[in-house]
Chains A and B, each alone.
Chain A
Amino acid sequence: MADVSLDQSLDHHAATVAARRHFLTRFVIYGLLVVFAAIYLIPLLVVVLNSFRDQQEIARNGLISLPRSFRLEAWGQAWSSYCIGGTCEGMQRNFYNSLKMTIPATIISTAVGAMNGYILSKWRFRGSEALFTCMLLGVFIPGQISLMPWAFILGNLGLSNSTYGLILIHVIQGISFTTLFCRNYYVSIPDDLIKAARIDGAGFWRIFRKIILPLSSPILIVTVIWQFTGIWNEYLFGVVFTSGQQQPITAALVALTASGTNVRAYDVMSAAVLIGALPPLLIYLFGGKYFVRGLTQGAIK
């Protein structure tokens, strides 16, 4: 009898120890996750809150404090009336510049990449693998190597200080990436499908339209997201090859935050930073799955 009860209590004891340990590890796991999440989210939160705070309140209480005021004016100023380097039009022009640069460059480089990928995976010829490897080298070349040649070429084409010049650069630079992505995806489409279509008399374009394209949406979404974020966020070429009103938003942001000589208008600058960060952030939030897929694919291959 006594034995049995001892046994039971031991069992009971062991169970509570295990439960307590389980609870403790869960507590540590979630605790750490919360701490890191705070470290990641606080900078974003600080910027969002400050874009709605009153500038005087920020000056008094610092950037990191609970908001005691709420106003929307900073957003309006950042968008259309704040002065950067003498012109007082806010960020809107630079925002449009970035759109005018990013959308065409993304579409063109993705389309070209899809065609290249299709050819390099389904229409292989002698030496095509070697050519593919050469194209891949473009992924690794640092932008600094191409600055002087681009300056010369853009100057001769009359495209210096223009959005079109930047589109050209981003298309040429992007082709290596988009080709790599699409080629690695198309390789997994069975060759038999293509062979059967060819026997039925379908040609190069028909196979692309009827077989490849309908299967392409995952990789096209990944490529578009990757290219859009990359080009939107690019800074080096923007700051080197454009100035003032022609600058994309990244370059304008640096000019804006550098220009504050007296009191730093943190409220307006916060709104401006968010305007610059919003398009890629929205894409990330709505296309997160594809964003991560592009990341892991681009990295592992």
Chain B
Amino acid sequence: MSNHDLILSTPAPARPWRERLGSAMPLLVLGPSLVASFVYVFVFTGWTLYISLSNSSLLPTYGFVGLDNYASLWANRRWNIAYNNLFLFSGFYIVGSMAVGLLLAILIDQRVRGEAVWRTIFLYPLAVSFIVTGTVWSWLYNPTDGIQAMVRGLGWTNFSFALASDRHYAIYAVIITGVWQSSGFAMALFLAGLRSVDSDLVRAAQIDGASTFRIYRKVLLPTIAPIFLAVAVIQIQFAIKTFDLVAALTKGGPGISTTFPAIYVYDLMFQRGQIGEGAAAAIMMLAALAVVLVPYSFWVVWRRRKEAGHG
């Protein structure tokens, strides 16, 4: 009783503490994540950027050397090979997996029986790690045990398929495996796109007597054009970050012929103790991502605004 009276007679706290805590709760819960993300995105990047400008070798040290690491990076033959590989790989990988993915999506879109089964088959490599894929394909490429051995065993004793062990062609072994792994992903997105197209559009074209081929070329594919771009952007990201696949498939070899930027970063930082230059290479990877993603995100925002404006 007296307690109750006391509270009633105290004028000061306009809002009880529970309510105040309640209104601060969202920020309290979100806070740790915000701090963690901020550290992860900005502090880590700034840190690595700083290391890339320092004379760190085996351990991070903070003597400022300007752009020296970048200069020696770009003067390095191996980095240039890595960089060229990235361009070659990205190009073939994106075009290859989009072409295969589109073909598979269109095939499945023809009201085939057992659609779920086909989809499951084409998409399963995505559930498996690049390590598993790379390991298995390295066996298939192995001339004495894999595909070459099998075809020779069938009687074509001159058959030669030694992509992965030839320094000029090993990069294509990586490309083929990459396309194998990820065209299912492109298929899933294209199929989702094709299914989302307004069926009245297709029906109208059918009434006009357009052939299936024409309907795809003139109606369906232009409608899902943004998906092409989305798939391409996602796959460029994969390409720039490519590490596991090469580590398991060719280990960057033969020689240094399939070195990639991500492999090079790892090598410099943890095998050769050149942390400063390794950090510079990592920053170059980030720059490559930014070159692709920044314009793309502006474009996405612009398109959304435009659609909102029209709608």
> Which A residues lie within 8 Å of B293 (CB)?
140
Interface flags for B31-52 (1: CB within 8 Å of A; 0: not) read 0011011101101110110010
How many cross-chain pairs have Cβ atoms below 8 Å apart between A and B?
235
The reply to whether B107 and A273 form a contact with Cβ atoms under 8 Å apart is: no
The reply to whether B140 and A37 form a contact with Cβ atoms under 8 Å apart is: no
* Contact residues of A between 232 and 271, Cβ < 8 Å to B: 232-236, 239-240, 250, 253-254, 257-258, 264, 266, 269
Interface window among B72-80, B89-97, B119-127, B201-209: B119-127
Whole-angstrom distance from the CB of A254 to the nearest CB of chain B?
6
Chain B residue with the shortest CB-CB distance to A34 = B118
The reply to whether A37 and B122 form a contact with Cβ atoms under 8 Å apart is: yes
Whole-angstrom distance from the CB of A19 to the nearest CB of chain B?
17
Q: Out of B34, B107, B283, name the residue touching A145 (CB < 8 Å).
A: B283
**A280 at the binding interface (Cβ < 8 Å):** yes
Interface size class of A (residues with CB under 8 A): 35 or more
Known: A32-B107, A266-B145, A285-B120. A142 touches B126 (CB 8 A): no
The reply to whether B279 and A148 form a contact with Cβ atoms under 8 Å apart is: yes
> Which B residues lie within 8 Å of A152 (CB)?
60
**B180 at the binding interface (Cβ < 8 Å):** yes
The reply to whether A172 and B30 form a contact with Cβ atoms under 8 Å apart is: no
Known: A119-B26, A138-B40, A235-B247. A175 touches B48 (CB 8 A): no
**B188 at the binding interface (Cβ < 8 Å):** yes
Secondary structure at chain B's binding surface: helix, strand, loop or mixed? helix
Interface window among A77-85, A184-192, A293-301: A293-301
Known: A30-B112, A149-B47. A135 touches B279 (CB 8 A): no
Chain B residue with the shortest CB-CB distance to A62 = B149
Complexed CA–CA distance, A205 and B142 (Å)? 58
> Which B residues lie within 8 Å of A215 (CB)?
none
**B8 at the binding interface (Cβ < 8 Å):** no
**A6 at the binding interface (Cβ < 8 Å):** no
The reply to whether B153 and A62 form a contact with Cβ atoms under 8 Å apart is: yes
Known: A116-B33, A250-B129. A145 touches B44 (CB 8 A): yes
Complexed CA–CA distance, A33 and B142 (Å)? 27
Q: Out of B40, B136, B279, B282, name the residue touching A142 (CB < 8 Å).
A: B282
The reply to whether A173 and B192 form a contact with Cβ atoms under 8 Å apart is: no
* Contact residues of B between 205 and 231, Cβ < 8 Å to A: 227, 230-231
**B22 at the binding interface (Cβ < 8 Å):** yes
**A76 at the binding interface (Cβ < 8 Å):** no
The reply to whether B131 and A233 form a contact with Cβ atoms under 8 Å apart is: yes
Complexed CA–CA distance, A277 and B124 (Å)? 11
Chain A residue with the shortest CB-CB distance to B146 = A63
Complexed CA–CA distance, A229 and B107 (Å)? 28
Known: A40-B121, A147-B282, A292-B123. A253 touches B48 (CB 8 A): no
**B128 at the binding interface (Cβ < 8 Å):** yes
The reply to whether A145 and B45 form a contact with Cβ atoms under 8 Å apart is: yes
Which 5 residue pairs spanning A and B have beta carbons closest together? A233-B129, A284-B127, A123-B26, A62-B149, A144-B282
Selected A-B contacts with CB under 8 Å, 18 pairs: A43-B137, A43-B180, A46-B136, A61-B153, A116-B33, A135-B37, A144-B282, A145-B286, A172-B37, A233-B130, A235-B131, A258-B251, A280-B129, A288-B123, A292-B123, A295-B126, A299-B231, A300-B230
Listed in ascending order, the chain A residues whose CB lies under 8 Å from chain B are: 29-30, 32-33, 36-37, 39-41, 43-44, 46-47, 58, 61-65, 112, 115-116, 119-120, 123, 125, 131, 134-135, 137-138, 140-150, 152, 172-173, 175-176, 179, 203-205, 229, 232-236, 239-240, 250, 253-254, 257-258, 264, 266, 269, 273, 276-277, 280-281, 283-285, 288, 291-292, 295-296, 299-300
